[in-house]
Amino acid sequence: MVRERGPQSDLSFIVNGGLTELENKIRHRIAGDSALNREVLLDASKALQASYALAAISNEGDLGLIKIVFTWVHRVSDDYVILLKTNDSGALCIFAFYCVLLKKLEHVWWMEGWGTYLMERIYWSLDSVHRLWIRWPMEEIGWYPGY
C-alpha cells in the first residue's frame, strides 16, 4: 500500500530529517570504516538532499523532475559508485532513499516499477541492522518483505 501525501510534506521530511538521521548513523557507524569512505557517503547524501530540495520546489512538471532525479546520479563520485557496486551498507542505504525519488517518476512508462525493484534488491543485500536504516524509504515506496 502506498501512502498518498502531498509532495511537499514527504520531500520536506527527507530534507529536514530523514537523510540527516541517516548521515548521523553513517558518521557513527562501524569503527573499521575509513574516514574517506565516510566522507564519500556523506557527500552522496548531501547531493541527494539537494535533489530532494529541488524536487520539493520544482514546478517544471515531469521533465523538470526527471532532470532533478537523474542529476544526482551524475553528481555522486566514482568512489560512491564503487562502494555501491561492492554492496557497502551505507551506500545501499543512501541509494534506498534515492529510490523514493525514482518512485515519484513511476507514472512515466519507462520508470514503472524501478523504485520498488531496486528497494527490494537493496533490502535483501543489507544485514538486519542496516535494514532498520531504510524503514522510511520502504514505507514511502510501499514495499515490505514478502509482498
Cell numbers at residue 92, please? Answer: 545501499
pLDDT band at 15 (very low <50, low <70, confident <90, very high): low
Cell numbers at residue 79, please? Answer: 568512489
For residue 80, what pLDDT is reported?
97
104-132 confidence digits (pLDDT tens): 888 888 888 999 999 999 999 999 999 99
Q: Which residue has the cell 517518476?
A: 105
Please choose, from the candidates 133, 146, 135, the residue with its C-alpha nearest in 3D space to the C-alpha of residue 28: 133
| C-alpha dihedral, 56 to 60 to 62 to 63, nearest 10° | -120
Query: Cα separation of 110 and 26, whole Å?
Result: 32
Please choose, from the candidates 127, 128, 68, 137, the residue with its C-alpha nearest in 3D space to the C-alpha of residue 103: 137
Q: Hey, how many other C-beta atoms are within 10 angstroms of the C-beta on 72?
A: 20
Q: Is 128 exposed, middle or buried (0-12, 13-18, 19+ CB in 10 A)?
A: exposed
HSE on the CB side for 59, CA within 13 Å?
0
Query: Cα separation of 64 and 59, whole Å?
Result: 7
- Across the chain, mean pLDDT equals 85
For residue 92, what pLDDT is reported?
98
